[in-house]
Chains A and B, each alone.
Chain A
Amino acid sequence: MGSTNDPWWADWSWQLDGWIVVAGILCSVSAALLGNFLVLRRLSLLGDAISHAVLPGLAAAYLITASRSSWPMFVGAVLVGVLTAVFTQWIRQAGRVDEGASMGVVFTSLFALGLLMIVQAADRVDLDPGCVLYGSIELTPLDTVGLFPLSSDLDPPQYAWRVPRVVLILTVVLAVNLLFVIVFFKELLLSSFDPGLATSMGFSSTAMHYALMILVAITAVASFESVGNILVVAMFVVPPAAARLLTNRLSTMVMWSVVIAIMSAVFGRIADIVVPRQWGYDSASTSGMMAVTAGMLFLGCWLFSPQQGLIIQAYKNWRLANRILSEDILAWLYRQCERGIQQGHGVLEIQRQLGSRFWSTYGIMVWLRWRGWIERHNGGWCLTEAGRNSASAVVRSHRLWENYLAQSADVPLEQLHLRAERLEHYTDPWLRQQLDNATLAAAIDPHGSPIPPEQPIELPHDESSPNTNPENKP
């Protein structure tokens, strides 16, 4: 290991880190591909459940074959993994409990059963579940197999290419998963969203479900054995969940989940080299770091997703709130003028009257002044001519709504104002015209105030004006 001052790539070795990243990518992508459908089927925790539940499979394989070779164990673990899914489904249907509860019942019981079997067998051999099954991604480059022997008579045999055994296994798993998702994409989509329709279209959604469960079990067990359980449990859930925040289309979601899975693996390895070094430690756990990186990527998607992201949502809410406040201020000033009050109005007075916060009111007033809709007058603020025009649209909407609600919706008089207050902000000229027609172009509202005429000059339609924000229109 290099000193703390070296850049991280000084430690990077393609022979070691390269293979670790490749194994990480293969595992992550295999898991994320299937994870999309687990997330849609509310089975996100299945990976975790299987990781606990495989114990009796291992114990049984060991008790039957009396050897610790990995194939029987693999088969035993996959069988129990599939059984976990089958039992979960069965208990869910027969007992009408939700997926989480039936999964919890199944995997804890299976684990306990496995523990019991191991303890009973313990006088014959020491079988430590922690050592049998769980591989470590850091050890990937050490255990290699040769491909393409150069010639058959050399001893020891020479190979054209040596790849880690783990990479070979995970490549096969990925290829199978990829093929499955591509070939059965339509079926998976339909059976995830509408099992009834899927069945009526001539393929069994139950068969699809079990095929998916078998692949999940194989992927999980192959990954436990090669790179440990943390990585695969995380990759079943986190990349698909992040991808879900980026899109509403399943095909796009699958692609994004693959991209996020690859990024988690690559940046996870790099972070594992870089981050612990900040505090003077060596790399700690690559698969743990890959899971954390996936979590960070999820956080990123959550914050910055263009449609569902927290930031864009907060921005939209902020804009809407500002537009409503500015319209309320204009309408209030308009009504003051209407009552013939010559006095100007201070920010504090307006804020108190509208029940808004001081600083947002102040900010909106600054903006209104910049638009030229209010001006200083008699020691306070009053509407300009342009301000009166835009305010009259709001007041007109308000009073039209009051008329309409009173005549057509039988809203009692004392509730009219509050209801119209909410509706006025979502009313465009076309809707005002409709309301006007519906109320027979009445000149005054139910409270006796005159309805201002529609202004011939419309509000300016540039983007900077909050009044023309297209997203906020109903």
Chain B
Amino acid sequence: MNLWTVIANANDITVWQSLYRIVSLQDYNTRVVLLGTGLLGTLAGLVGSFALLRKRALLGDALSHATLPGIALAFLLANAWGFHEKSLGILLVGAAISGILGTVTILLIRRYTRLYEDTAMGIVLSVFFGLGVVLLGLVQQTPGGNAAGLETFIYGRAASISQADVQLIAVVGLVAAALVSLGFKELTLLCFDETYAATRGYRVWLLDLSLMTLMVLVTIVGLQSVGLILMIALLVIPPAAARFWTDRLPVMVFLAMVFGATSCLLGAIASGLYPRLPSGAMMVLAAAGCFGVSLLFGYRRGIVWDFAQQLQYRFRTDRQHLLRALFEQLEIRDRDDSEKFATTTDIPESDLLAMRSWSSTQLRRSAWHAAQAGLVVASPPNQWRLTISGYHAARKLVHDHRLLELYLIRHADIAPSRVDQDADAIEHWLEPAMIAELEAEMSSTISQQKLPASPHPVVPTITPGDDALRNRNNHGQH
């Protein structure tokens, strides 16, 4: 039986029964696991958001490796002094001390060398982990010392999360929530403008250290209950996913917490339904799914939204090009610029194609969009005519375009032969206020009532449709 048969069997009535059983928290064990991982996901989302914005997303990775020597040393010392060597308390203290040492080392390297953040983390990660492995080697040789338990301490298993773990997570969570809500303003400043925070008189060093100590605590608590990889994933993935949805820090932190908790709950439920699915891996994959969806559909930075905006911009640009081309063709036919003539004359496609380097597909697509907007009317075969609103829009566009061209020729010393392209690159971005300013600037040479004449031949002299040639010539002019 593999994953696919599991999924294929999902219609079984027993699945729904067990899902109900899990969601309604009937088992004690389910309750503990869901509560523990859900809390941990929330907590990691909270702390991870700040780490992500400080460009220290992988700090959790570095710290979880850096705890190893502390754990091994605590084990050795506890053994030597006759304590019970695997008592959780001693190991946790050892892990915390060595994690904080690692943090301080990262901060020191960052402050007193010119190395980057990630290099500092890499050094601490590998050297501390190396030391930990050496110490573990010594533990193996200790008479009566059995490091087998330490392995599970480092790599943990979410399914075996205990009530004591949940209490520990809850305590750390309260501390973290209190610290973050007390110092939210300071932390925001630290994340976005460290230098400004320093000039405002905040002790950046202290803030940084407290944030990172919080991170150590969360990492250690998570490490021993859910393991290394899941802990890193929970610290990195939900905040990174949340970043796609918003530019506001409080919203991002909230979303990261929600994503973290949701991933953990989904993973735990999946693993509860099908014992063959490892819970930790399912939580990471749920978080990864969250990230994928955010990467695609995130409202602020998601790929789809970005693409939609670009598409919208391109359609607008194409429509403006079409209107301008139609108008300038009309101008060739009738210098009087009359509304009546404009709205009754059909312009054939071949004339429009000559106006700029566009394909007939492109032209027809923008014509279709313009027709939808009520700006042009198609009159077969392959001819177009402006409507009244289209005429006024086109007149305005041509006016703005020429205004900009004249401005560029006069004030930016651009040759009339190539001013068309330069104006083309900017005109779609001009705002009404800017145009008003241009008008005021150029009022001595042109008037609003009469359209200024184009400073260059309206129809390009190069053979239409020959894009390659046209492009080559454009490059030659640079």
The finding on whether chains A and B are genuine partners in a shared complex, rather than unrelated, reads: yes
Contact B243 A230, beta carbon cutoff 8 Å:
no
The A4-55 residues at the B interface (CB cut-off 8 A) are 39, 42-45, 47-48, 52
Given the known inter-chain contacts A48-B61, A116-B3, A290-B130, please indicate yes or no for A295 contacting B123, CB distance below 8 A.
yes
Contact B277 A119, beta carbon cutoff 8 Å:
yes
CA distance A230 to B136 in the complex (A): 13
State how many angstroms separate the Cβ of B450 from the closest Cβ of chain A. Answer: 46
B121 interface residue, CB < 8 Å from A?
Answer: yes
CA distance A151 to B52 in the complex (A): 63
Contact B118 A45, beta carbon cutoff 8 Å:
yes
Binds A, one of B108-116, B215-223, B374-382, B409-417: B108-116
Residue among A103, A230, A298 having the largest count of chain B Cβ atoms under 10 Å: A230
Contact A119 B278, beta carbon cutoff 8 Å:
yes
CA distance A221 to B190 in the complex (A): 39
The B106-164 residues at the A interface (CB cut-off 8 A) are 109, 112-119, 121-123, 125-127, 129-138, 140-141
Contact B284 A108, beta carbon cutoff 8 Å:
yes
Query: Closest chain A residue to B240 by CB distance?
Result: A101
Contact B55 A112, beta carbon cutoff 8 Å:
no
Contact A288 B131, beta carbon cutoff 8 Å:
yes
CA distance A116 to B123 in the complex (A): 31
Contact B126 A48, beta carbon cutoff 8 Å:
yes
Q: How many residues of A contact B (CB 8 A)?
A: 62
Binds B, one of A89-97, A212-220, A372-380: A89-97
Contact A292 B130, beta carbon cutoff 8 Å:
yes
Contact A45 B122, beta carbon cutoff 8 Å:
yes
Contact B233 A109, beta carbon cutoff 8 Å:
yes
Given the known inter-chain contacts A44-B116, A99-B118, please indicate yes or no for A237 contacting B123, CB distance below 8 A.
yes
Residue among B116, B132, B135, B285 having the largest count of chain A Cβ atoms under 10 Å: B116
CA distance A313 to B113 in the complex (A): 11
Chain A residues lying within 8 Å of B126, measured Cβ to Cβ, are: 48, 230, 233-234, 236-238, 291, 294-295
State how many angstroms separate the Cβ of A311 from the closest Cβ of chain B. Answer: 11
Chain A residues lying within 8 Å of B65, measured Cβ to Cβ, are: 48
CA distance A310 to B232 in the complex (A): 33
A244 interface residue, CB < 8 Å from B?
Answer: yes
A205 interface residue, CB < 8 Å from B?
Answer: no
B301 interface residue, CB < 8 Å from A?
Answer: yes
Residue among B60, B116, B136, B281 having the largest count of chain A Cβ atoms under 10 Å: B281
The one of B125, B129, B233, B284 in contact with A45, judged by C-beta atoms closer than 8 angstroms, is B125
CA distance A313 to B301 in the complex (A): 44
Binds B, one of A276-284, A384-392, A420-428, A433-441: A276-284
Query: Closest chain B residue to A293 by CB distance?
Result: B130
Contact B285 A238, beta carbon cutoff 8 Å:
no
A145 interface residue, CB < 8 Å from B?
Answer: no
The one of A45, A91, A111 in contact with B121, judged by C-beta atoms closer than 8 angstroms, is A45
The A119-156 residues at the B interface (CB cut-off 8 A) are 119-121, 123
Contact B118 A100, beta carbon cutoff 8 Å:
yes
Chain B residues lying within 8 Å of A111, measured Cβ to Cβ, are: 229, 281, 284
Query: Closest chain B residue to A95 by CB distance?
Result: B295
Residue among A108, A116, A237, A313 having the largest count of chain B Cβ atoms under 10 Å: A108
Binary contact readout B289-301 vs A (1 if CB under 8 angstroms, 0 otherwise): 0010001000001
B57 interface residue, CB < 8 Å from A?
Answer: yes
Which label, helix, strand, loop or mixed, suits the secondary structure of the B interface?
A: helix
CA distance A52 to B231 in the complex (A): 13
A320 interface residue, CB < 8 Å from B?
Answer: no
The one of A45, A101, A105 in contact with B288, judged by C-beta atoms closer than 8 angstroms, is A105
State how many angstroms separate the Cβ of B85 from the closest Cβ of chain A. Answer: 17
Chain B residues lying within 8 Å of A294, measured Cβ to Cβ, are: 126-127, 130
Contact B130 A108, beta carbon cutoff 8 Å:
no
CA distance A85 to B131 in the complex (A): 28
State how many angstroms separate the Cβ of A246 from the closest Cβ of chain B. Answer: 11
Contact A104 B130, beta carbon cutoff 8 Å:
no
Contact A44 B118, beta carbon cutoff 8 Å:
yes
A302 interface residue, CB < 8 Å from B?
Answer: yes
Chain A residues lying within 8 Å of B115, measured Cβ to Cβ, are: 39, 241, 244-245
Binary contact readout A425-452 vs B (1 if CB under 8 angstroms, 0 otherwise): 0000000000000000000000000000
Contact A39 B277, beta carbon cutoff 8 Å:
no
B168 interface residue, CB < 8 Å from A?
Answer: no
Chain B residues lying within 8 Å of A289, measured Cβ to Cβ, are: 130, 134
The B1-22 residues at the A interface (CB cut-off 8 A) are 1-3
Chain A residues lying within 8 Å of B130, measured Cβ to Cβ, are: 230, 234, 285, 287-292, 294-295
Contact B284 A104, beta carbon cutoff 8 Å:
no
Contact B119 A112, beta carbon cutoff 8 Å:
no
Query: Closest chain B residue to A130 by CB distance?
Result: B151
The B368-427 residues at the A interface (CB cut-off 8 A) are none
Chain B residues lying within 8 Å of A234, measured Cβ to Cβ, are: 126-127, 129-130
Query: Closest chain A residue to B284 by CB distance?
Result: A112
Query: Closest chain B residue to A233 by CB distance?
Result: B126
Binary contact readout A229-265 vs B (1 if CB under 8 angstroms, 0 otherwise): 0100110111001001100000000000000000000
Known pairs A116-B285, A284-B136; list 4 more (Cβ under 8 Å). Answer: A104-B60, A113-B285, A281-B138, A302-B113
Residues of A in contact with B (beta carbons under 8 Å apart) = 39, 42-45, 47-48, 52, 91, 94-105, 108-109, 111-113, 115-116, 119-121, 123, 230, 233-234, 236-238, 241, 244-245, 272, 276, 279, 281-285, 287-292, 294-295, 298, 302, 308, 310, 313
Closest 7 CB pairs of A and B: A284-B137, A291-B130, A295-B127, A104-B236, A234-B126, A112-B284, A288-B133
Can you list 26 pairs linking A and B with CB atoms under 8 Å apart?
Answer: A43-B118, A44-B122, A45-B58, A95-B244, A95-B301, A97-B240, A100-B117, A100-B121, A101-B52, A101-B57, A104-B60, A105-B237, A108-B229, A116-B3, A120-B2, A120-B3, A233-B126, A245-B113, A285-B130, A285-B134, A288-B137, A291-B130, A294-B126, A298-B127, A302-B113, A308-B113
